[in-house]
Chains A and B, each alone.
Chain A
Amino acid sequence: MNILTFKGGYRFKGFTGRAANKLITLDLPSTVRIPLRQGFGSTLTPKVGVGDGVKAGQIIAQDDKLVSSPIHSSVNGTVTKIEKVNYFKRSIDMVTIESDGDPGYEKLAGATKEWEKLPNQEIEELIYKSGASSLNREGIPTSFKSSIINSEEVVDLIIHGISSEAYNASLKTLLEGKNLYNFVEGIKILKKIMPKARIHLALNSRKKDIIESVKKLTSNIEGLKIHALYSKYPQGYDEVLIPTILGKKFPYGYSAANIGIVVLMLQTVLHVYDAVVRGKPLIERILAFCGQAFKENLHVKVRVGSSLADILKDRLFTHFKHRVVLNSLLTGVELADLSLPISREFSQIIAIRDDDLRRFLNFMRPGFHSDSYSNTFISQFVKVGKIATTNLRGDQRPCIQCGYCSEVCPVDIMPTVLDRYIKLGINETLMRFGIFNCIECNLCSYICPSKIHLANNLKDAKTKLIEAGCDNSLCILPKFNLKGLDDYKGVKNLR
């Protein structure tokens, strides 16, 4: 099979602490806190009050006028508190619900195994009501304003399971047993509600067995193409996936939905199946626990709204300091406050050692556990398992123009040249050098031997440019015919 890839990028391989192919369901939490902004969409206001009894799966926030999807209670019990909480730098309403210990949930009305007989409108309603339509970067388009475009406008639907980060949820675990059939069924459902869309299934080229079995099961779906992609970081980004698979240019700074493309992850398709066939609302997520600081690396099924402290309890080593990061070591947020709840966007929790040891003659060591873009470490030849820690691994130095950053940049800009111009002052020259093409994958910061915070400097400069009134719309709008722009303006700062 022909393997597709892109110019630049870097393949993270051989890290210890990848989540094993094992899935456990965690105990029902005694209290959950449900943030009223989850996934793609605006912040919602609660429909319940303190003291109300709620069922698991009951919608506690919904607004059909805003771009959003409903949010549910994830347990049966009573609302005890509604307060404004600072959640990922946004002040949003958080509903605290005390559980009564009943693990059941309220099914969505109308869900059926014979979904093919349902009209599109009803299928879309099921997906919307389940909350699955808010997942991933631009949500699933339905006629309920869950995304910025309508489902008829979708030209291409990309479903990807590319594990290009250092730590990923295992495809095998997600597609274990019946889930593989459910996944294919989910694709068929999406195909029905997006009749004009061509479907592209992008899978990691190294998982040959999964590709083979998916191929067999999907052979009767019309207009579906399977692509094997090399798992280089950041292949999973929309900005990289679309040029790789479709050969189209991406309107950097905007969303894939603006050019009529929807990109969904594998787990989202499973949630779609759950909603339409089993009537299950999005109250549970599968999380991968990765990294060296976990006693056991595995996958867990948890209720949305469980607090991090609860689900991490007794699972982390305590004899060294650790740092807990959400979803990605390269771009993820540090989860410093473990009292916060998990939302439906979580897919990996990574805990690595917070390494502040001063190692003797570190730069001369053979480096059995070090990862590097250069081949200067023995770990390139002897596979013992690389270890990710938070240590800076060297002192900051002036740029020596090694050119690594331009080599790995997935969007073909030159971070070090931009950095040099940023020091000279913020002006339009930066736009000419493509600063707005930067997709903030942070790979240049990772790779830099001089330990310069390239990606961060670029990000700051972008903010300053926008404040100064220089917008990237000048570069993008004349070249593309973008859809749903009015709505997009309203929800621009989602990422």
Chain B
Amino acid sequence: MLGILRRILDEAEKIIKKTPILKNFFPVFEATDDFFFATKKTTRFAPHFLDGIDIKRFMSFVIIALIPATIAGVYFFGLRVLLVIAISYAAGGLVEVAFSVGRKKPLYEGFLVTGLIFPLILPPTIPLWMVALGASFGVFFGKEVFGGTGRNIFNPALVGRVFLSLAFPEYFATMWQKPFWGGLGGFVKFMPDSITGATPLINFKSTQDVATWPCLLMGNLPGSIGETFRIGIIIGGVLLLLVKIAEWRISLTYIASAFIVSFIGHIFLPESFAPPLFQILSGGLLFGAFFMATDPVSGPLTHQGRWIYGILLGVLTILIRTFTGFVEGVMFAILLMNACAPLIDTIIINIKFKDIPQVEEA
């Protein structure tokens, strides 16, 4: 079996290298080849052996951690979710391939995560063409214009979503569908019937109603595709923290500061500030805290910076939710803090490494 696959790849390589047009698409072949078979390169100098982890494994763990939320998304909102994910991968992947061919650089793995996170933060009623538009917009303006993987300032999935929510606000304001509940749910249906309801956060804004926490944990309330099943998000998120892929400092401080700010706010202004537990268990706060704020590329590098980043994220999220016209603050909070991350790092690094001491004249 393996021998056959190896031979197919070897033959394909020969053909691609010979044909002038196909030669441009060598990065695509290279990525496929690297996906199936690990490198044969060995270390050339000390250290003579290396840590087992590589970026492929790093990114795979994020995908593994997202599995519970994805399955729940399908259960709540029907098999159409799978189509949405496929389109997101295809559209964003095309932009990624175009850039890697143009730059003559290998195709990197970062998009594997973006392509899955992006559909999970969309409303279930989203038209398929909009998914394609948002995914390609996010990858193009969120990542590639800055120079590709490792150089992006913003989280590409959030750039895609913020573009869609500003260009087509109606889909993000009112068109929230009630999820399937009971039996096989969405596993046997394509999409929910057109009964629309309001998300718990919208409900609170208009009526000050607070959903109960068991409902919020189970996720059988309207919301984005992947953000409602919070038990699964917590399980996946804690897994990521335990394997050291996501930074525990960011997740912990984000959730803690959101809790504290809403706790204090709720004492003084109970009409505008929702109660703390409800704040944390509603909207995309948990999803954002575990999977998006912890994106290492767009977040700060220093430990101290990560503490500050997490605290400010929590404060901003609650303030946006409470005092602005937007019901959901996670997206804007993370994007704003992404923009601040390099500044936070620079300040911390400059404090840590002060000027070189000058020798005084004797």
Closest chain-A Cβ to B32's Cβ sits at a distance in Å of 12
Interchain CA distance A66-B185 in the complex, whole Å: 85
The answer to whether B360 and A478 have CB atoms under 8 Å apart is yes
- Across-interface contacts of B356 in A (CB, < 8 A): 428, 431-432, 474-475
Say yes or no for B167: interface residue by CB 8 A criterion: no
- Across-interface contacts of A477 in B (CB, < 8 A): 359
Interchain CA distance A456-B148 in the complex, whole Å: 25
Cβ contacts A185-198/B at 8 Å (1 or 0 each): 00000000000000
The answer to whether B41 and A356 have CB atoms under 8 Å apart is yes
- Across-interface contacts of B245 in A (CB, < 8 A): 374, 376
Cβ contacts A372-398/B at 8 Å (1 or 0 each): 111111000000000011111111011
In A318-341, which residues have CB < 8 Å from any B CB?
323, 325, 328-334
In B150-199, which residues have CB < 8 Å from any A CB?
150-151
The answer to whether B55 and A397 have CB atoms under 8 Å apart is yes
Closest chain-A Cβ to B27's Cβ sits at a distance in Å of 12
Select B301's contact among A376, A417, A434, beta carbons within 8 Å.
A417
- Across-interface contacts of A373 in B (CB, < 8 A): 51, 53, 244
The answer to whether A358 and B353 have CB atoms under 8 Å apart is no
Interchain CA distance A479-B109 in the complex, whole Å: 47
Interchain CA distance A449-B306 in the complex, whole Å: 20
Closest chain-B Cβ to A153's Cβ sits at a distance in Å of 24
The answer to whether A392 and B52 have CB atoms under 8 Å apart is no
A-B residue pair count with CB separations less than 8 angstroms: 205
User: Contacts A359-B38, A373-B244, A479-B357 given: A398-B2 contact, CB under 8 Å?
Assistant: no
Cβ contacts A407-424/B at 8 Å (1 or 0 each): 100000010110000000
Please, which residue of chain A has its CB at the minimum distance from the CB of B37?
A: A358
Say yes or no for A451: interface residue by CB 8 A criterion: yes
User: Contacts A363-B57, A394-B53 given: A416-B360 contact, CB under 8 Å?
Assistant: no
Say yes or no for A361: interface residue by CB 8 A criterion: yes
The answer to whether B53 and A478 have CB atoms under 8 Å apart is no
Please, which residue of chain B has its CB at the minimum distance from the CB of A392?
A: B41
Say yes or no for A400: interface residue by CB 8 A criterion: yes
- Across-interface contacts of A367 in B (CB, < 8 A): 52
The answer to whether B51 and A371 have CB atoms under 8 Å apart is yes
Select B49's contact among A360, A390, A453, A479, beta carbons within 8 Å.
A390
- Across-interface contacts of B296 in A (CB, < 8 A): 400-403
Say yes or no for B238: interface residue by CB 8 A criterion: no
Interchain CA distance A357-B42 in the complex, whole Å: 10
- Across-interface contacts of A453 in B (CB, < 8 A): 45
- Across-interface contacts of B55 in A (CB, < 8 A): 394-395, 397, 400, 449-450
In B319-362, which residues have CB < 8 Å from any A CB?
349, 353-360
Say yes or no for B299: interface residue by CB 8 A criterion: yes
- Across-interface contacts of B357 in A (CB, < 8 A): 474-475, 478-479
The answer to whether B2 and A360 have CB atoms under 8 Å apart is yes
Closest chain-A Cβ to B155's Cβ sits at a distance in Å of 13
- Across-interface contacts of A388 in B (CB, < 8 A): 48-49
Closest chain-A Cβ to B89's Cβ sits at a distance in Å of 18
Please, which residue of chain B has its CB at the minimum distance from the CB of A328?
A: B46
The answer to whether B149 and A397 have CB atoms under 8 Å apart is yes
Say yes or no for B297: interface residue by CB 8 A criterion: yes
The answer to whether A392 and B47 have CB atoms under 8 Å apart is no
Please, which residue of chain A has its CB at the minimum distance from the CB of B341?
A: A401
Say yes or no for B242: interface residue by CB 8 A criterion: yes
Interface residue total, chain A, C-beta cutoff 8 A? 72
Interchain CA distance A402-B303 in the complex, whole Å: 11
The answer to whether B148 and A398 have CB atoms under 8 Å apart is yes
In B21-69, which residues have CB < 8 Å from any A CB?
34-43, 45-58, 60-61
- Across-interface contacts of A445 in B (CB, < 8 A): 47, 50
The answer to whether A363 and B54 have CB atoms under 8 Å apart is yes
- Across-interface contacts of A332 in B (CB, < 8 A): 46, 48
Select A394's contact among B39, B106, B149, beta carbons within 8 Å.
B39
The answer to whether A355 and B244 have CB atoms under 8 Å apart is no
- Across-interface contacts of B50 in A (CB, < 8 A): 391-393, 445-446, 451
The answer to whether B51 and A448 have CB atoms under 8 Å apart is yes
The answer to whether B359 and A376 have CB atoms under 8 Å apart is no
User: Contacts A395-B39, A433-B353 given: A375-B243 contact, CB under 8 Å?
Assistant: yes
Interchain CA distance A435-B227 in the complex, whole Å: 44
Select B151's contact among A361, A364, A394, A398, beta carbons within 8 Å.
A398
Say yes or no for A406: interface residue by CB 8 A criterion: yes
Closest chain-B Cβ to A187's Cβ sits at a distance in Å of 33
The answer to whether A333 and B242 have CB atoms under 8 Å apart is no
Select B349's contact among A377, A433, A450, beta carbons within 8 Å.
A433
Say yes or no for A349: interface residue by CB 8 A criterion: no
Say yes or no for A306: interface residue by CB 8 A criterion: no
Say yes or no for A442: interface residue by CB 8 A criterion: yes
Say yes or no for A217: interface residue by CB 8 A criterion: no
Interchain CA distance A379-B329 in the complex, whole Å: 40
Say yes or no for B302: interface residue by CB 8 A criterion: yes
- Across-interface contacts of B263 in A (CB, < 8 A): none
Select B303's contact among A395, A403, A446, beta carbons within 8 Å.
A403
Select B297's contact among A356, A400, A434, A446, beta carbons within 8 Å.
A400
Interchain CA distance A398-B43 in the complex, whole Å: 18
The answer to whether B108 and A397 have CB atoms under 8 Å apart is yes
The answer to whether A449 and B49 have CB atoms under 8 Å apart is no
Q: List 19 A-B contacts (CB under 8 A).
A: A325-B48, A329-B47, A334-B46, A358-B37, A361-B38, A373-B53, A374-B245, A376-B57, A388-B49, A389-B49, A391-B39, A392-B42, A400-B297, A403-B301, A414-B301, A446-B50, A449-B58, A474-B357, A475-B357
The 9 A-B pairs of least Cβ separation, nearest first, read A394-B54, A398-B150, A370-B52, A362-B38, A363-B56, A358-B37, A390-B42, A388-B49, A356-B40
